[in-house]
A and B are shown apart, each in its own frame.
Chain A
Amino acid sequence: MEDKTYRWFLVPALILLVLCIYVPVLRGLVMAFQNYNMFDLTNIHFIGLENFSAVIRDVHISFGQILANTLVWVTASLLFQFVLGFILALAMKEPFRGRGIYSGFVFYAWALSGFAIGLTWAWLFNGQFGLINDLLVRIGLLESPIGFLSSKSLAMIAVLIPNIWYGVPFFGIMLLAALQSVPAELYEAATIDGAGRVRQLFSVTIPYVRPTIISTVLLRTMWIINFPDIIYAMTSGGPVNRTNILATQMINKIFKEYDYGQGAAIGVIIMVLLFVYAIFYLRVTGRQEEEF
Protein backbone atom coordinates (compact mmCIF):
# COMPACT_ATOMS: atom_id res chain seq x y z
CA MET A 1 0.00 0.00 0.00
CA GLU A 2 1.34 3.40 -0.91
CA ASP A 3 0.01 6.89 -1.01
CA LYS A 4 0.69 8.45 -4.38
CA THR A 5 1.16 11.79 -2.65
CA TYR A 6 4.47 10.50 -1.32
CA ARG A 7 5.99 10.68 -4.75
CA TRP A 8 5.21 14.38 -5.10
CA PHE A 9 7.46 15.05 -2.14
CA LEU A 10 10.40 14.21 -4.37
CA VAL A 11 9.60 16.88 -6.93
CA PRO A 12 11.31 19.94 -5.37
CA ALA A 13 14.55 18.03 -4.84
CA LEU A 14 14.50 16.64 -8.36
CA ILE A 15 13.76 20.00 -9.95
CA LEU A 16 16.65 21.59 -8.08
CA LEU A 17 19.02 18.79 -9.01
CA VAL A 18 18.06 18.86 -12.67
CA LEU A 19 18.17 22.66 -13.00
CA CYS A 20 21.22 23.42 -10.88
CA ILE A 21 23.32 20.25 -11.24
CA TYR A 22 22.44 18.04 -14.18
CA VAL A 23 21.72 20.64 -16.85
CA PRO A 24 24.83 22.71 -15.99
CA VAL A 25 26.97 19.57 -15.96
CA LEU A 26 25.77 18.67 -19.44
CA ARG A 27 26.41 22.23 -20.53
CA GLY A 28 29.88 21.99 -18.97
CA LEU A 29 30.58 18.78 -20.84
CA VAL A 30 29.65 20.47 -24.11
CA MET A 31 31.81 23.45 -23.19
CA ALA A 32 34.84 21.18 -23.00
CA PHE A 33 34.59 20.73 -26.78
CA GLN A 34 34.06 24.41 -27.58
CA ASN A 35 36.15 27.48 -27.98
CA TYR A 36 34.71 29.30 -24.96
CA ASN A 37 36.76 32.19 -23.68
CA MET A 38 35.57 35.16 -21.64
CA PHE A 39 37.47 37.53 -23.93
CA ASP A 40 36.03 35.95 -27.04
CA LEU A 41 32.40 35.35 -26.15
CA THR A 42 31.08 36.24 -29.59
CA ASN A 43 33.12 33.45 -31.07
CA ILE A 44 31.86 30.31 -29.35
CA HIS A 45 32.15 27.30 -31.61
CA PHE A 46 32.99 23.61 -31.55
CA ILE A 47 36.66 22.77 -31.80
CA GLY A 48 36.67 19.04 -31.23
CA LEU A 49 39.36 17.88 -28.87
CA GLU A 50 41.47 21.03 -29.07
CA ASN A 51 40.85 22.03 -25.47
CA PHE A 52 42.08 18.66 -24.30
CA SER A 53 45.19 18.77 -26.44
CA ALA A 54 45.87 22.37 -25.37
CA VAL A 55 45.71 21.29 -21.72
CA ILE A 56 47.77 18.16 -22.24
CA ARG A 57 50.41 19.71 -24.51
CA ASP A 58 50.78 22.96 -22.59
CA VAL A 59 54.45 23.94 -22.87
CA HIS A 60 54.47 26.17 -19.80
CA ILE A 61 52.63 23.87 -17.47
CA SER A 62 53.56 20.23 -17.87
CA PHE A 63 50.45 18.08 -17.74
CA GLY A 64 52.58 15.13 -16.64
CA GLN A 65 53.68 17.11 -13.64
CA ILE A 66 50.09 18.06 -12.79
CA LEU A 67 49.04 14.41 -12.97
CA ALA A 68 52.00 13.36 -10.83
CA ASN A 69 51.19 16.10 -8.31
CA THR A 70 47.56 15.01 -8.23
CA LEU A 71 48.61 11.43 -7.60
CA VAL A 72 50.94 12.45 -4.77
CA TRP A 73 48.31 14.77 -3.33
CA VAL A 74 45.56 12.16 -3.33
CA THR A 75 47.63 9.15 -2.22
CA ALA A 76 49.61 10.86 0.53
CA SER A 77 46.56 12.71 1.87
CA LEU A 78 44.45 9.59 1.86
CA LEU A 79 47.11 7.34 3.38
CA PHE A 80 47.94 9.65 6.28
CA GLN A 81 44.36 10.74 6.88
CA PHE A 82 43.32 7.13 7.07
CA VAL A 83 46.18 5.80 9.21
CA LEU A 84 46.08 8.71 11.65
CA GLY A 85 42.28 8.66 11.75
CA PHE A 86 42.36 4.94 12.50
CA ILE A 87 44.92 5.37 15.28
CA LEU A 88 42.81 8.18 16.75
CA ALA A 89 39.69 6.03 16.60
CA LEU A 90 41.49 3.11 18.25
CA ALA A 91 42.77 5.40 20.99
CA MET A 92 39.26 6.74 21.58
CA LYS A 93 37.41 3.45 21.40
CA GLU A 94 37.39 2.56 25.08
CA PRO A 95 35.52 5.13 27.15
CA PHE A 96 37.45 7.57 29.31
CA ARG A 97 36.43 10.54 31.37
CA GLY A 98 35.63 13.57 29.21
CA ARG A 99 35.59 11.63 25.94
CA GLY A 100 32.60 13.62 24.66
CA ILE A 101 34.36 16.94 25.09
CA TYR A 102 37.61 15.47 23.86
CA SER A 103 35.98 14.34 20.64
CA GLY A 104 34.73 17.89 20.07
CA PHE A 105 38.32 19.14 20.15
CA VAL A 106 39.82 16.51 17.88
CA PHE A 107 36.94 16.40 15.39
CA TYR A 108 36.00 20.09 15.02
CA ALA A 109 38.35 20.60 12.06
CA TRP A 110 35.90 18.62 9.93
CA ALA A 111 33.48 21.56 10.07
CA LEU A 112 35.93 24.29 9.14
CA SER A 113 36.32 26.15 5.88
CA GLY A 114 39.03 24.56 3.75
CA PHE A 115 39.98 27.94 2.39
CA ALA A 116 40.34 29.49 5.85
CA ILE A 117 42.32 26.43 6.95
CA GLY A 118 44.64 26.95 3.99
CA LEU A 119 45.14 30.59 4.97
CA THR A 120 45.76 29.61 8.59
CA TRP A 121 48.46 27.14 7.57
CA ALA A 122 49.94 29.63 5.11
CA TRP A 123 50.52 31.78 8.15
CA LEU A 124 51.91 28.86 10.18
CA PHE A 125 54.34 28.11 7.34
CA ASN A 126 55.16 31.78 6.78
CA GLY A 127 58.80 32.18 5.74
CA GLN A 128 59.60 34.92 8.24
CA PHE A 129 57.16 34.93 11.10
CA GLY A 130 55.59 31.48 10.89
CA LEU A 131 55.18 29.28 13.96
CA ILE A 132 56.69 26.25 12.26
CA ASN A 133 59.89 28.06 11.37
CA ASP A 134 60.09 29.38 14.90
CA LEU A 135 59.64 25.92 16.42
CA LEU A 136 62.25 24.37 14.11
CA VAL A 137 64.73 27.12 14.89
CA ARG A 138 64.11 26.76 18.63
CA ILE A 139 64.76 23.04 18.67
CA GLY A 140 67.83 23.57 16.51
CA LEU A 141 66.71 21.81 13.35
CA LEU A 142 66.97 25.03 11.39
CA GLU A 143 69.44 27.83 11.70
CA SER A 144 67.21 30.48 10.27
CA PRO A 145 63.63 30.54 8.93
CA ILE A 146 63.04 29.12 5.46
CA GLY A 147 60.31 29.81 2.91
CA PHE A 148 58.43 26.51 2.86
CA LEU A 149 55.80 27.70 0.42
CA SER A 150 58.32 29.11 -2.05
CA SER A 151 60.60 26.07 -1.89
CA LYS A 152 60.26 23.71 -4.84
CA SER A 153 61.07 20.67 -2.73
CA LEU A 154 59.08 21.54 0.40
CA ALA A 155 55.94 23.22 -0.91
CA MET A 156 54.09 19.94 -1.59
CA ILE A 157 54.75 18.74 1.96
CA ALA A 158 53.62 22.10 3.29
CA VAL A 159 50.24 21.83 1.53
CA LEU A 160 49.84 18.14 2.36
CA ILE A 161 50.18 18.61 6.11
CA PRO A 162 47.11 20.88 6.45
CA ASN A 163 45.10 18.61 4.19
CA ILE A 164 45.98 15.62 6.35
CA TRP A 165 45.20 17.64 9.46
CA TYR A 166 41.86 18.60 7.93
CA GLY A 167 40.88 15.05 6.91
CA VAL A 168 41.82 13.04 10.01
CA PRO A 169 38.57 13.92 11.83
CA PHE A 170 36.40 12.48 9.03
CA PHE A 171 38.14 9.10 9.22
CA GLY A 172 38.23 9.36 13.00
CA ILE A 173 34.45 9.89 13.19
CA MET A 174 33.65 7.13 10.70
CA LEU A 175 36.06 4.54 12.05
CA LEU A 176 35.26 5.25 15.69
CA ALA A 177 31.59 4.53 14.99
CA ALA A 178 32.53 1.36 13.13
CA LEU A 179 34.90 0.21 15.90
CA GLN A 180 32.22 0.72 18.50
CA SER A 181 29.91 -1.56 16.56
CA VAL A 182 32.29 -4.54 16.78
CA PRO A 183 30.58 -6.98 19.19
CA ALA A 184 32.57 -7.46 22.40
CA GLU A 185 32.02 -11.25 22.18
CA LEU A 186 34.34 -11.37 19.17
CA TYR A 187 37.19 -10.01 21.27
CA GLU A 188 36.34 -12.33 24.14
CA ALA A 189 36.41 -15.31 21.82
CA ALA A 190 39.69 -14.13 20.31
CA THR A 191 41.20 -13.72 23.77
CA ILE A 192 40.13 -17.24 24.73
CA ASP A 193 41.76 -18.47 21.52
CA GLY A 194 44.93 -16.82 22.74
CA ALA A 195 45.10 -13.99 20.20
CA GLY A 196 47.18 -11.01 21.33
CA ARG A 197 46.35 -7.35 20.79
CA VAL A 198 48.01 -7.03 17.41
CA ARG A 199 46.56 -10.31 16.22
CA GLN A 200 43.09 -9.17 17.34
CA LEU A 201 43.50 -5.92 15.43
CA PHE A 202 44.23 -7.75 12.19
CA SER A 203 41.92 -10.76 12.54
CA VAL A 204 38.93 -9.26 14.34
CA THR A 205 38.82 -5.47 14.15
CA ILE A 206 39.97 -4.77 10.60
CA PRO A 207 37.85 -7.46 8.92
CA TYR A 208 34.80 -6.29 10.85
CA VAL A 209 35.18 -2.60 9.90
CA ARG A 210 36.28 -3.40 6.33
CA PRO A 211 33.03 -2.19 4.68
CA THR A 212 33.38 1.18 6.41
CA ILE A 213 37.01 1.41 5.35
CA ILE A 214 36.13 0.64 1.74
CA SER A 215 33.33 3.16 1.44
CA THR A 216 35.05 5.96 3.38
CA VAL A 217 38.21 5.63 1.31
CA LEU A 218 36.23 5.80 -1.92
CA LEU A 219 34.19 8.80 -0.77
CA ARG A 220 37.26 10.56 0.46
CA THR A 221 39.22 10.01 -2.75
CA MET A 222 36.49 11.69 -4.75
CA TRP A 223 36.41 14.48 -2.26
CA ILE A 224 40.17 15.08 -2.11
CA ILE A 225 40.66 15.12 -5.88
CA ASN A 226 37.95 17.77 -6.17
CA PHE A 227 39.30 19.88 -3.35
CA PRO A 228 41.58 22.76 -4.41
CA ASP A 229 40.75 25.10 -1.49
CA ILE A 230 43.83 24.50 0.66
CA ILE A 231 46.34 24.61 -2.19
CA TYR A 232 44.58 27.62 -3.71
CA ALA A 233 44.88 29.48 -0.41
CA MET A 234 48.51 28.53 0.25
CA THR A 235 50.38 28.45 -3.05
CA SER A 236 47.78 28.53 -5.83
CA GLY A 237 49.77 25.77 -7.48
CA GLY A 238 53.23 27.25 -7.22
CA PRO A 239 56.16 27.50 -6.96
CA VAL A 240 56.70 26.58 -10.62
CA ASN A 241 53.72 24.20 -10.54
CA ARG A 242 55.14 22.07 -7.76
CA THR A 243 51.78 21.97 -5.99
CA ASN A 244 49.54 22.35 -9.02
CA ILE A 245 46.93 19.56 -9.15
CA LEU A 246 44.10 19.07 -11.67
CA ALA A 247 41.59 20.90 -9.49
CA THR A 248 43.81 23.96 -8.93
CA GLN A 249 44.75 24.04 -12.60
CA MET A 250 41.05 24.11 -13.42
CA ILE A 251 40.52 27.00 -11.01
CA ASN A 252 43.46 28.84 -12.61
CA LYS A 253 42.05 28.28 -16.10
CA ILE A 254 38.66 29.65 -15.06
CA PHE A 255 39.57 32.50 -12.70
CA LYS A 256 42.93 33.60 -14.08
CA GLU A 257 42.89 32.82 -17.80
CA TYR A 258 39.10 32.93 -18.24
CA ASP A 259 39.43 30.01 -20.62
CA TYR A 260 36.21 28.20 -19.76
CA GLY A 261 36.60 25.62 -22.52
CA GLN A 262 39.94 24.39 -21.23
CA GLY A 263 38.69 24.60 -17.66
CA ALA A 264 35.76 22.36 -18.56
CA ALA A 265 38.13 19.98 -20.35
CA ILE A 266 40.08 19.53 -17.10
CA GLY A 267 36.77 18.94 -15.32
CA VAL A 268 35.96 16.19 -17.77
CA ILE A 269 39.39 14.64 -17.26
CA ILE A 270 38.80 14.61 -13.49
CA MET A 271 35.39 12.97 -13.91
CA VAL A 272 36.72 10.30 -16.25
CA LEU A 273 39.63 9.53 -13.91
CA LEU A 274 37.27 9.27 -10.95
CA PHE A 275 34.89 7.05 -12.86
CA VAL A 276 37.65 4.66 -13.92
CA TYR A 277 39.06 4.71 -10.41
CA ALA A 278 35.67 3.95 -8.82
CA ILE A 279 35.04 0.98 -11.10
CA PHE A 280 38.53 -0.38 -10.60
CA TYR A 281 38.35 0.21 -6.86
CA LEU A 282 35.01 -1.53 -6.44
CA ARG A 283 36.26 -4.48 -8.51
CA VAL A 284 39.39 -4.86 -6.46
CA THR A 285 37.67 -4.52 -3.12
CA GLY A 286 35.05 -6.94 -4.40
CA ARG A 287 32.15 -4.96 -3.13
CA GLN A 288 28.75 -6.10 -4.28
CA GLU A 289 26.35 -3.62 -5.71
CA GLU A 290 25.37 -0.98 -3.22
CA GLU A 291 22.47 -2.13 -1.06
CA PHE A 292 19.73 0.41 -0.98
Chain B
Amino acid sequence: MRKHHIHPVRVILLILFFVSAIMPLYWILLTSFKGPKEIYTFPLQYVPRTFTLESYRKLFSFTSFGRYFINSLVLAFSASLGAMVVSVAAGFSLSRYNRKREKHGILLALYFTQTIPTFILMVPLFTFFSKIGLVDRLWSLGTVYIATVVAFSTIMSKSFFDRIPVSLEEAAKIDGCSLGQSLIRVILPVTLPGMAALFSFAFINIWNELFLAVMLLLSNENMTVPVALNSFISKAGISWDVMSAGIVMALLPTMVVFGVGQKYIVAGLTEGGVKG
Protein backbone atom coordinates (compact mmCIF):
# COMPACT_ATOMS: atom_id res chain seq x y z
CA MET B 1 0.00 0.00 0.00
CA ARG B 2 1.23 3.47 -0.82
CA LYS B 3 -1.03 5.33 1.48
CA HIS B 4 1.44 7.94 2.65
CA HIS B 5 3.12 8.41 -0.66
CA ILE B 6 2.00 11.61 -2.40
CA HIS B 7 2.43 11.66 -6.13
CA PRO B 8 4.79 14.47 -7.25
CA VAL B 9 2.25 15.79 -9.77
CA ARG B 10 -0.18 16.17 -6.92
CA VAL B 11 2.37 18.03 -4.84
CA ILE B 12 3.09 20.44 -7.68
CA LEU B 13 -0.63 21.04 -8.25
CA LEU B 14 -1.24 21.66 -4.56
CA ILE B 15 1.62 24.15 -4.46
CA LEU B 16 0.42 25.94 -7.60
CA PHE B 17 -3.09 26.31 -6.22
CA PHE B 18 -1.71 27.51 -2.92
CA VAL B 19 0.52 30.14 -4.47
CA SER B 20 -2.13 31.50 -6.80
CA ALA B 21 -4.69 31.62 -3.99
CA ILE B 22 -2.36 33.53 -1.71
CA MET B 23 -0.63 35.82 -4.19
CA PRO B 24 -3.28 38.56 -4.61
CA LEU B 25 -3.83 38.75 -0.86
CA TYR B 26 -0.10 38.89 -0.15
CA TRP B 27 0.28 41.63 -2.69
CA ILE B 28 -2.48 43.86 -1.38
CA LEU B 29 -1.23 43.39 2.20
CA LEU B 30 2.29 44.21 1.09
CA THR B 31 1.09 47.30 -0.78
CA SER B 32 -0.80 48.53 2.25
CA PHE B 33 2.36 48.38 4.37
CA LYS B 34 4.68 49.92 1.79
CA GLY B 35 3.97 53.61 1.88
CA PRO B 36 3.33 55.72 -1.23
CA LYS B 37 6.94 56.17 -2.30
CA GLU B 38 7.67 52.49 -2.58
CA ILE B 39 4.27 51.71 -4.10
CA TYR B 40 4.98 53.87 -7.09
CA THR B 41 8.41 52.62 -8.08
CA PHE B 42 9.22 50.26 -10.92
CA PRO B 43 10.60 47.58 -10.81
CA LEU B 44 8.60 46.53 -7.82
CA GLN B 45 9.78 45.42 -4.39
CA TYR B 46 8.58 41.91 -3.59
CA VAL B 47 9.74 42.11 -0.02
CA PRO B 48 9.22 45.55 1.45
CA ARG B 49 12.26 47.58 2.42
CA THR B 50 10.23 49.71 4.75
CA PHE B 51 7.30 48.72 6.88
CA THR B 52 4.91 51.54 7.64
CA LEU B 53 1.37 51.97 8.89
CA GLU B 54 1.19 55.33 7.15
CA SER B 55 -1.54 54.18 4.71
CA TYR B 56 -3.75 53.00 7.57
CA ARG B 57 -3.15 56.21 9.46
CA LYS B 58 -4.26 58.17 6.38
CA LEU B 59 -7.25 55.91 5.87
CA PHE B 60 -8.54 56.44 9.38
CA SER B 61 -7.67 60.13 9.70
CA PHE B 62 -8.49 61.54 6.25
CA THR B 63 -11.77 59.64 5.98
CA SER B 64 -14.21 58.51 8.65
CA PHE B 65 -13.24 54.91 7.92
CA GLY B 66 -13.54 53.94 11.59
CA ARG B 67 -17.16 54.98 11.45
CA TYR B 68 -17.81 53.08 8.18
CA PHE B 69 -16.16 50.00 9.64
CA ILE B 70 -18.36 50.13 12.74
CA ASN B 71 -21.44 50.70 10.54
CA SER B 72 -20.62 47.62 8.50
CA LEU B 73 -19.82 45.56 11.56
CA VAL B 74 -23.00 46.44 13.44
CA LEU B 75 -25.13 46.09 10.31
CA ALA B 76 -23.68 42.74 9.26
CA PHE B 77 -23.71 41.36 12.80
CA SER B 78 -27.29 42.30 13.66
CA ALA B 79 -28.74 41.48 10.24
CA SER B 80 -27.02 38.08 10.29
CA LEU B 81 -28.38 37.40 13.74
CA GLY B 82 -31.84 38.40 12.53
CA ALA B 83 -31.53 36.29 9.40
CA MET B 84 -30.42 33.34 11.49
CA VAL B 85 -33.40 33.55 13.84
CA VAL B 86 -35.90 34.01 11.01
CA SER B 87 -34.49 31.20 8.90
CA VAL B 88 -34.10 28.77 11.81
CA ALA B 89 -37.78 29.24 12.57
CA ALA B 90 -38.78 28.94 8.92
CA GLY B 91 -36.48 26.00 8.23
CA PHE B 92 -37.74 24.13 11.27
CA SER B 93 -41.32 24.77 10.26
CA LEU B 94 -40.74 23.59 6.70
CA SER B 95 -38.89 20.53 7.83
CA ARG B 96 -41.83 19.48 10.03
CA TYR B 97 -44.51 20.61 7.58
CA ASN B 98 -46.77 17.79 6.51
CA ARG B 99 -48.92 19.35 3.83
CA LYS B 100 -46.98 18.25 0.81
CA ARG B 101 -48.34 20.66 -1.77
CA GLU B 102 -48.05 23.80 0.34
CA LYS B 103 -44.57 22.79 1.35
CA HIS B 104 -43.64 22.26 -2.28
CA GLY B 105 -44.98 25.67 -3.26
CA ILE B 106 -43.11 27.46 -0.51
CA LEU B 107 -39.85 25.72 -1.36
CA LEU B 108 -40.30 26.60 -5.00
CA ALA B 109 -40.87 30.24 -4.03
CA LEU B 110 -37.66 30.11 -2.01
CA TYR B 111 -35.66 28.61 -4.87
CA PHE B 112 -37.13 31.13 -7.29
CA THR B 113 -35.71 34.09 -5.33
CA GLN B 114 -32.24 32.77 -6.15
CA THR B 115 -32.73 33.63 -9.82
CA ILE B 116 -33.79 37.23 -9.24
CA PRO B 117 -31.11 39.82 -9.97
CA THR B 118 -30.79 42.10 -6.92
CA PHE B 119 -30.50 45.10 -9.23
CA ILE B 120 -34.11 44.80 -10.25
CA LEU B 121 -35.05 45.27 -6.59
CA MET B 122 -32.91 48.32 -6.00
CA VAL B 123 -35.01 51.10 -7.46
CA PRO B 124 -38.40 49.85 -6.20
CA LEU B 125 -36.94 49.43 -2.71
CA PHE B 126 -35.49 52.91 -2.89
CA THR B 127 -38.77 54.54 -3.93
CA PHE B 128 -40.65 52.48 -1.33
CA PHE B 129 -38.35 53.48 1.51
CA SER B 130 -38.29 57.13 0.48
CA LYS B 131 -42.06 57.24 0.41
CA ILE B 132 -42.31 56.05 4.00
CA GLY B 133 -39.33 58.17 5.01
CA LEU B 134 -37.03 55.27 5.88
CA VAL B 135 -34.38 55.71 3.25
CA ASP B 136 -30.80 56.26 4.42
CA ARG B 137 -31.33 54.24 7.60
CA LEU B 138 -28.93 51.43 8.36
CA TRP B 139 -31.65 49.30 9.90
CA SER B 140 -33.91 49.51 6.87
CA LEU B 141 -30.99 48.36 4.73
CA GLY B 142 -30.45 45.65 7.36
CA THR B 143 -34.04 44.47 6.94
CA VAL B 144 -33.54 44.23 3.19
CA TYR B 145 -30.34 42.28 3.76
CA ILE B 146 -32.15 39.79 5.98
CA ALA B 147 -34.66 39.30 3.17
CA THR B 148 -31.93 38.79 0.57
CA VAL B 149 -30.30 35.96 2.51
CA VAL B 150 -33.33 34.43 4.15
CA ALA B 151 -34.39 32.24 1.23
CA PHE B 152 -31.07 30.46 0.91
CA SER B 153 -30.68 30.31 4.70
CA THR B 154 -34.10 28.75 5.11
CA ILE B 155 -33.32 26.06 2.53
CA MET B 156 -30.08 25.41 4.39
CA SER B 157 -31.68 25.34 7.82
CA LYS B 158 -34.48 23.07 6.61
CA SER B 159 -31.92 20.51 5.50
CA PHE B 160 -30.26 20.64 8.92
CA PHE B 161 -33.57 19.98 10.68
CA ASP B 162 -34.40 17.23 8.21
CA ARG B 163 -31.56 15.23 9.69
CA ILE B 164 -32.82 15.57 13.23
CA PRO B 165 -35.34 12.87 14.00
CA VAL B 166 -38.83 13.96 15.05
CA SER B 167 -38.62 11.42 17.86
CA LEU B 168 -36.27 13.79 19.67
CA GLU B 169 -39.06 16.36 19.98
CA GLU B 170 -41.59 13.76 20.90
CA ALA B 171 -39.38 12.58 23.71
CA ALA B 172 -39.14 16.17 24.91
CA LYS B 173 -42.90 16.50 24.71
CA ILE B 174 -43.42 13.44 26.83
CA ASP B 175 -41.08 14.96 29.38
CA GLY B 176 -43.47 17.90 29.52
CA CYS B 177 -41.74 20.43 27.30
CA SER B 178 -43.84 22.91 25.34
CA LEU B 179 -43.10 23.34 21.67
CA GLY B 180 -41.00 26.43 22.28
CA GLN B 181 -39.12 24.72 25.10
CA SER B 182 -38.40 21.67 23.04
CA LEU B 183 -37.10 23.84 20.22
CA ILE B 184 -34.79 25.78 22.50
CA ARG B 185 -33.68 23.03 24.90
CA VAL B 186 -33.59 19.96 22.73
CA ILE B 187 -33.42 20.80 19.06
CA LEU B 188 -31.24 23.90 18.97
CA PRO B 189 -28.24 22.43 20.80
CA VAL B 190 -28.12 19.67 18.21
CA THR B 191 -28.23 22.21 15.42
CA LEU B 192 -25.58 24.59 16.76
CA PRO B 193 -23.13 23.77 13.93
CA GLY B 194 -25.92 24.52 11.47
CA MET B 195 -26.62 27.83 13.18
CA ALA B 196 -22.93 28.72 12.96
CA ALA B 197 -23.11 28.01 9.22
CA LEU B 198 -26.23 30.14 8.81
CA PHE B 199 -24.68 33.03 10.68
CA SER B 200 -21.36 32.94 8.83
CA PHE B 201 -23.08 32.59 5.50
CA ALA B 202 -25.30 35.61 6.16
CA PHE B 203 -22.48 37.67 7.61
CA ILE B 204 -20.25 37.10 4.59
CA ASN B 205 -22.98 38.00 2.11
CA ILE B 206 -24.09 41.08 3.98
CA TRP B 207 -20.63 42.41 4.72
CA ASN B 208 -19.72 42.17 1.04
CA GLU B 209 -22.82 43.74 -0.47
CA LEU B 210 -22.23 46.95 -2.43
CA PHE B 211 -25.00 48.04 -4.79
CA LEU B 212 -28.05 47.96 -2.51
CA ALA B 213 -26.04 49.95 0.02
CA VAL B 214 -25.03 52.52 -2.60
CA MET B 215 -28.69 52.87 -3.53
CA LEU B 216 -30.27 52.97 -0.09
CA LEU B 217 -27.67 54.90 1.92
CA LEU B 218 -27.30 58.57 1.10
CA SER B 219 -25.37 60.33 3.83
CA ASN B 220 -21.65 60.15 4.39
CA GLU B 221 -21.99 59.08 8.03
CA ASN B 222 -24.05 56.01 7.10
CA MET B 223 -21.64 54.56 4.54
CA THR B 224 -20.58 50.96 4.83
CA VAL B 225 -17.09 49.71 3.99
CA PRO B 226 -17.83 48.72 0.36
CA VAL B 227 -19.65 52.02 -0.23
CA ALA B 228 -16.67 53.88 1.20
CA LEU B 229 -14.25 52.01 -1.08
CA ASN B 230 -16.51 52.85 -3.99
CA SER B 231 -16.38 56.52 -3.01
CA PHE B 232 -12.56 56.42 -2.99
CA ILE B 233 -12.58 55.87 -6.74
CA SER B 234 -12.38 59.36 -8.15
CA LYS B 235 -12.12 60.70 -11.64
CA ALA B 236 -8.47 61.47 -11.00
CA GLY B 237 -7.79 57.80 -10.36
CA ILE B 238 -7.14 55.82 -7.25
CA SER B 239 -4.50 56.59 -4.69
CA TRP B 240 -3.38 53.08 -3.99
CA ASP B 241 -1.84 53.62 -0.58
CA VAL B 242 -5.13 54.52 1.11
CA MET B 243 -7.10 52.20 -1.18
CA SER B 244 -4.96 49.16 -0.41
CA ALA B 245 -5.39 49.73 3.32
CA GLY B 246 -9.14 50.07 2.77
CA ILE B 247 -9.24 46.86 0.74
CA VAL B 248 -7.42 44.98 3.48
CA MET B 249 -9.94 46.26 6.04
CA ALA B 250 -12.77 45.15 3.73
CA LEU B 251 -11.32 41.65 3.28
CA LEU B 252 -10.27 40.97 6.87
CA PRO B 253 -13.59 40.40 8.68
CA THR B 254 -14.99 37.83 6.26
CA MET B 255 -11.63 36.05 6.23
CA VAL B 256 -11.82 35.78 10.00
CA VAL B 257 -15.40 34.53 9.83
CA PHE B 258 -14.43 31.99 7.18
CA GLY B 259 -11.38 30.91 9.16
CA VAL B 260 -13.45 30.30 12.29
CA GLY B 261 -16.55 28.90 10.63
CA GLN B 262 -15.03 27.06 7.67
CA LYS B 263 -16.05 23.60 8.85
CA TYR B 264 -19.66 24.68 9.30
CA ILE B 265 -19.82 26.77 6.15
CA VAL B 266 -18.53 23.92 4.03
CA ALA B 267 -21.04 21.55 5.62
CA GLY B 268 -23.82 24.08 5.14
CA LEU B 269 -22.99 24.73 1.51
CA THR B 270 -22.62 21.10 0.54
CA GLU B 271 -25.49 19.68 2.54
CA GLY B 272 -27.97 22.49 2.42
CA GLY B 273 -27.40 24.67 -0.56
CA VAL B 274 -27.35 22.38 -3.47
CA LYS B 275 -29.00 19.13 -2.62
CA GLY B 276 -32.00 21.07 -1.37
Contact = CB atoms under 8 A, between A and B. Distances in A.
Contact of A226 (B117, B128, B144, B262): B117
B21 A106 contact: yes
A263 interface: yes
B148 A21 contact: yes
Main secondary structure on chain B at its contact with chain A? helix
Contact of B119 (A222, A267, A278, A290): A267
Contacts of B43: 134, 137-138
Contacts of B62: none
B276 A31 contact: no
Contacts, number: 250
Interface stretch (A48-56, A120-128, A152-160, A187-195): A120-128
A264 B247 CA distance: 31
A128 B87 CA distance: 48
B24 A111 contact: no
B35 interface: no
B97 A6 contact: yes
A264 B120 contact: yes
Given A24-B125, A165-B20, A271-B115, A13 B154 contact: yes
14 contacts: A6-B97, A7-B93, A13-B89, A17-B113, A27-B124, A96-B14, A102-B14, A104-B258, A113-B251, A115-B210, A116-B229, A116-B250, A131-B44, A178-B270
Interface of A: 2-3, 5-10, 12-14, 16-17, 19-25, 27-29, 31, 36, 87-88, 91-92, 94, 96, 102-117, 119-124, 126, 128-129, 131, 134, 137-138, 145, 162, 165, 168-170, 173-174, 177-178, 212, 215-216, 219, 222, 226, 228-229, 247, 250-251, 254-255, 260, 263-264, 267-268, 270-271, 274-275, 278, 290-292
Interface of B: 6, 10, 13-14, 17-18, 20-25, 27-28, 31, 39-44, 86-87, 89-90, 92-94, 96-98, 103-104, 106-107, 109-111, 113-125, 127-128, 143-144, 146-148, 150-151, 154, 179, 204, 207-208, 210-211, 214-215, 226, 229-230, 238, 240, 243-244, 247, 250-251, 254-255, 257-259, 262, 265-266, 269-270, 273-276
